[in-house]
Amino acid sequence: MQIRTATRSDADAVWTLLEPVFRAGDTYAVDPDISREAALSYWMDQPAACYVAVDAGQIIGTYYIKTNQRGGGAHVCNCGYVVGVDAQGQGVAAQMCAASQTQARAQGYRAMQFNFVLTSNVGAIRLWHKLGFETVGTLPKAFDHPALGMVDAQVMYKWLAD
């Protein structure tokens, strides 16, 4: 698997990954009816950088890096990750998260924060903990899950600087 910077020519493949995740409405706080154009802008244009994971010529995952806050908080980045259904359970998210930390350091970030990890997303929480992230807070009933109702969200954080 190779991870590289996304280009505009990757937009169709990135949308193919994002659409089912956003439409399901059960992991990202994104309108499930978001348009293709708005979703690609959110994922590819607004962040500092967007990357894709490629295996055998196919894009199987994507992530972005963006500044979490401005001013005095600009040293902390935020990332989002999506892995294609056919590639889940193969370590793609772990590899993308490791790559994102390397990229974040190279871009001058000193910490990474995940602002809104749903407690119902048990696999992601387990992975982020395994990769050294700490849960630093819980937002009670912060997300109206389409199947589970109100669920908590966790704020997760990792210091990247030496």
- Residues 62 and 52: their CA atoms lie apart, in Å, by 4
CB count in 10 Å sphere of residue 111: 15
Whole-structure pTM value: 0.94
| List of residues 6+ apart from 14 with CB closer than 8 A | 6, 40, 43, 44, 50, 52, 59, 62
Residue-level pLDDT, tens digit, the chain, 162 residues:
999 999 999 999 999 999 999 999 999 999 999 999 999 999 999 999 999 999 999 999 999 999 999 999 999 999 999 999 999 989 999 999 999 999 999 999 999 999 999 999 999 999 999 999 999 999 999 999 999 999 999 999 999 987
Q: For residue 49, give the CATH number of its domain.
A: 3.40.630.30
E strands along 31-146, which residues? 49-55, 58-67, 76-83, 111-118, 134-145
Structural domain total, the chain: 1
Q: At what angle do helices 122-130 and 92-106 cross, to 10 degrees?
A: 50
The range of the structural domain enclosing residue 56 comes to 2-159
